[in-house]
Amino acid sequence: MDIREVSPGFAVSPQIDVKDLEALARKGYVAVVCNRPDGEEPGQPPLDDLRTAATEAGLAFHHIPVSGGAFPDAAVAAFGAVRRGTQGPLLAYCRTGTRSITLETLANPNGLSAAERIGQAQGAGYDLTALAPRLGG
């Protein structure tokens, strides 16, 4: 797994597999957020399989799909609510991790400035400087 820590208690990654969920629980994660639509591309693990494996591993599983480069306000709000409501480390994933880090940056659950959010994304290997106008910075 390519886990990229963004901040204490929050990380993003590219697509995970069913077998990864037990390992995530052993690493201390308490929740997982999938930001991909189910069946987005061939070979993607089915959402129901991932949800079942997460539950069996003792992890909360959330599905907040976004696609096409669109980040609707409802998805940003839902992501922020999950982030603020999760007590313990959370991993968000999508195909490459970009949608997940973008949702984190837009939701701003930690009340950071635009520059701080863009810096956190860069520290995890994602260039979100194009979001600066939307972030007010």
Give mean pLDDT, residues 63-77: 92
Distance CA 51, CA 30 (A): 13
CB-based contacts of 126: which residues, under 8 Å, 6+ apart?
4, 12, 97, 98, 101, 102
- pLDDT band with cut points at 50, 70 and 90 for residue 137: low
**How many C-beta atoms lie closer than 10 Å to residue 124's C-beta?**
21
pLDDT digits (tens, 9 = 90+) for 92-120: 999 999 999 999 999 988 888 999 999 99
Give mean pLDDT, residues 69-78: 93
Per CATH, the number for 4-111 is 3.90.190.10
The mean pLDDT of the chain is 94
pLDDT digits (tens, 9 = 90+) for 33-65: 999 999 899 999 999 999 999 999 999 999 999
Give mean pLDDT, residues 75-83: 96
Confirm if 130 and 112 have CB atoms less than 8 A apart: no
Residue 136 reports pLDDT greater than 80:
no
- Quick one: CA dihedral 11, 3, 6, 137, positive or negative? negative
CB-side neighbour CA atoms (13 Å) of 84: 11
Residue 22 reports pLDDT greater than 70:
yes
pLDDT score recorded for residue 1: 83
H/E run at residue 93: strand 90-93
pLDDT score recorded for residue 56: 97
List the domain boundaries for the chain: 4-111
